[in-house]
Structure formats: structure tokens, C-alpha cells
Amino acid sequence: MTTELLQQVRVIDPVSETDQIADVLIVDGHIQAIAPQISDISSDTSIRDCRGLVLGTGLVDLYSHSGEPGFEERETLVSFLQAASAGGFTRVSVLPDTFPAIDNPALVAQLQQKRNEEIREKGKIDSASSASPLPHLHVWGAITLDLAGKQLTEFADLATAGVVGFTDSKAWENLGLVRRVLEYLQPFGKPVAFWPCDRSLSANGMMREGAEAFRVGLPPVPASAETTAIAALLELVAAIRTPVHIMRVSTARSVELIATAKFQGLPVTASTTWMHLLLDTTDVKSYHTSLHLDPPLGNPSDVAALRGGVRGGVIDAIAIDHAAYTYEEKVQAFAESPPGAIGLELALPLLWQNLVETGEFTALELWQVLSNKPAACLQQEMKAIKSGEKAELTLFDPQQTWKVNRENLHTLSQNTPWFGQEIKGRVLQTWC
């Protein structure tokens, strides 16, 4: 039996919407007590002074990319899960764009089995405890076979296999197919996520259209490449009423369209990624290939609108969209590099320092869009931090500094604009 007492920790509970200083007693992976002060403890209790530390519900990532299967040189499933745990995540959801794509039940079972084998092999779980440092793994099922966008997968088989929802995580080419998907998936009651992007408008663009794109000299991507696709999707949702999650929202106009849809009662949720909240087109002048994202970083007005959308509830959650690439893949010209960046281990510290420490977000607001709200988008529940509940928690030190380098990262890749820099804020432990 393991007993831990966290003394005078700042408890941020987005479920009960409380932010308080308290003692928290955890026994065998369960919260036994939470009170202003706990003194009645056993002699074998491990006591930890947590003044200045933050304890919150576990973080939940809506979607990220695993290199395995197919691209293990970028990221294995184990390194992916270790990076997620190091970043404070207790639940992660893998996109189906692996090789082969996750378009059949066997691949879903394979990923879950590998995660469970890793826990057993390292002795991190036993009959006496349900605690594990590795997060729960959820798997998105592909909508089309091999993500080719031509033939639909067997939705019933994937649903039975336990996928968290359905997505191809890429821009669609056929609105007629999108309509069929919404019709076919309606009875399954699982999330269906789309990334709205009109490739005929984005073409070969690399950077959000605007003055900065003109200065930097990269091909522009108009905001309409996203907004026209969102408008079309919302029309289909209005007609069919299948709930939809809109991924990777990146423009101010998109926020307006989604706000109107929600006001009209359409069953939609939406997310943006953490990097789209922190960086904008002015940062791209460095030509750092880890700033090559798809959709591209927005103009400053887009970032302001996204932050307002998150705070106001129009954007339901912040996703990480972790995408690992090898050094060789990213050391190219900006336009030739694959789009994407790592983020599982960096998102919470950088969001906290840039949004909470500056006073733009409250700690509770940030934790909500990283924890219980993304869980709700996946039709899952996050339990409040109270006596009797299982401990699904993240302990975070907002003041600890560390250097983003190979020695300090669990992910196998280093494609981030913060690589080599010192940042403030680090996750100390998770309970899962």
C-alpha cells in the first residue's frame, strides 16, 4: 500500500471550478482526503511539501500523431506515451494517419496491446495498484480505407473495436463523401472530427496570407481556404444534425462562423492547437521549419480571436497535434519540410507562462481547456478532485526551469522552435 500526502498544494479542479490551497492524501491511487490541513496520517505516509506547486486533473489531448506503426524512426508508441506522461497528460488520442492507416480492428488492438505490454514489462502496474505513469491510450479510427478518401471503412467493426471516434485528420476532397459519412455515422454515437480545408484555395501555400507573408516571401494561404470549408461543413451539419468536432481552427473568421453555429444550436465542438495560440506570422521570419504548420500560423488578429474564442467557449479545447519528424526530414528549406511540430512535453509550461502568468487566462480557464473540456469533446467524463475518486492527476511546478534538449525530452524527435532554449514550468508527476 502506497500513501502520499501532498501538503499545501494549489488544487485546480476544473470540474468543480475551484482553485484552492489544500492538503491532498492519496492512498493506493485513490484520493482519500482533501482538506485545508490533514494531520491524521499513518507512519508510512510519504509527505511532500508542495508549496508553490499546482495539482490539477489529468490533461487530455484530443489528437496527436504516433509514428508507430510505419514511422518508428520519428516516434514509437512507447516514446509517444512517455512524452505525453512527462507533459502531464493522462489521456491521449492517436490519429489514424499511420502506415498502415488505422482502418481496421486489428490495428486498434495492436496499439492497445503494445501499451499494456509496456506497462507490464516495466513493472509499472500490479494487482495492488491501478496507478500507471503511462496515460490511457485512445485511438481514432479512419473514415476511409488507407485515408485515400475513396472508400469508407467498416464503421461498425471499428466502433466495436473501441475507437474513440472517427476522422481522417486531413483535408477532404469530396463534400458528397462528407455528407455520406455524417449520415452513416449518426447511429454510432461516437465523435466524428473533420479538418476543414479547401485545397483548391490553399494550393501550394505555406504561410497565412497577409503583410508578413508578403515580407517573408512564402506562398500565401488565404483564410478562405479554411472558412469556406467550415461554412460548407456547418451547412451539412445543419441538414443532417450529426454532431461534429472541427479540428485545427486557425482564423478569426472561423471563430465567428463557429460562434454563429453554436448560437443556432448546431451540434458542433471545436479545437485549436496550442501553437496557434502562442505564435503568429511574425515569428515565421526566422524560417524555422518547426514553424511550418498546416494550417499555417495565423496573423496577430487571428491569434487574438482564437484566444478570445477559447476563453469565451466558442473554441472548446486546446489540442496538441504532436507531430514528430526526424532531424533529416526537417533540415530542409521551409517549403520542402513536412508540416508539424512536437508539443506534448512543452504545451503546458509554455501556455502557462504566456497566458496564465501574463494574466490573460486564469489558471482555471487554461486547465479546463486542457483537461475536462477536451474529455467532453471525446464524450468522456473527468472526475472532480474529491475524496473517494481515483487519482487521475497532474502535479506541475510553474517555476521550475529546464532546457529543451535531447537529454530532457522523451520524444525521439526535436522539431520544435524552442529546441535548445530554456523554458519555465515542468510537470513533476502524474497519477493515472
Catalytic residues: 321
CA-to-CA distance for 142 and 310, rounded, in angstroms? Answer: 27
Q: How far from 367 is each of 89, 318, 319, 354, CA to CA, in Å?
A: 12, 10, 12, 14
80: left (phi over 0), alpha (psi -120 to 50) or beta: alpha
Which uninterrupted H or E stretch holds 387?
none
Number of Cβ atoms within 10 Å of the Cβ of 34: 22
Q: What is the DSSP letter of 15?
A: T
156, burial (CB in 10 Å: exposed 0-12, middle 13-18, buried 19+): exposed
Q: What is the DSSP letter of 168?
A: -
User: Contact 129/29 with Cβ under 8 angstroms?
Assistant: yes
CA-to-CA distance for 404 and 74, rounded, in angstroms? Answer: 17
Q: What dihedral do alpha carbons 55, 363, 292, 78 form, nearest 10°?
A: 10
User: What are all long-range contacts of 71-78, with beta carbons under 8 Å and residues at least 24 apart?
Assistant: 71/98, 71/99, 73/326, 73/412, 74/324, 74/325, 74/326, 74/329, 74/412, 74/413, 75/324, 75/411, 75/412, 75/413, 76/412, 77/111, 77/114, 77/115, 77/118, 77/137, 78/114, 78/118
Sheet (strand 59-64) strand order? 59-64, 89-94, 136-141, 165-166
User: Of 351, 292, 392, which Cα lies nearest the Cα of 14?
Assistant: 392
Which uninterrupted H or E stretch holds 252?
helix 252-263
Kindly state the cell numbers that stand for 335.
517549403
User: Of 79, 66, 135, 136, which Cα lies nearest the Cα of 107?
Assistant: 66
For the stretch 115-132, what's the b/e string if a residue is b when 16 or more beta carbons lie within 10 angstroms of its beta carbon?
beebeeeeeebeeeeebb
CA-to-CA distance for 198 and 182, rounded, in angstroms? Answer: 18
